[in-house]
Amino acid sequence: MVENKSAETIDYLQVDVVVALGNGQERTVELKSAYREGVLYPISPGGKATLKQHLDTSMALGASCADVKARRVVRTICETASGKACASSVSVQP
């Protein structure tokens, strides 16, 4: 779940999270507000949205919740309605 605390509408938001598993492997999960080339679901100022993993564009984690030992954000992509990068920084707590 994300909340837009800025004064601008977010057209697209992607957060890439690296998940460390108990067996030492790491996997990246791409969480997105929408399909980048499809219909967008804007997040208005003060609005909230649930980011989703689109399994037809990225690989499933393939592990149970008990196998997850740590998470860290490695990249965020935030674009406004004009297609420009968001002026405000994005704060993420995995």
pTM of the model: 0.82
Tens of pLDDT, residues 24-80: 999 999 999 988 777 778 999 988 888 998 877 677 778 888 999 999 999 999 999
Strands 48-49 and 2-3: antiparallel
Give the position of tokens 């990225």.
58
Instruction: State residue 68's pLDDT score.
Output: 93
Tens of pLDDT, residues 1-39: 888 888 899 999 999 999 999 999 999 999 999 887 777
Instruction: State residue 34's pLDDT score.
Output: 85
Neighbours of 44 (CB within 10 A): 11
Angle, alpha carbons 49-55-30 (nearest 5°):
55
Q: Are 55 and 8 in contact (CB under 8 A)?
A: no
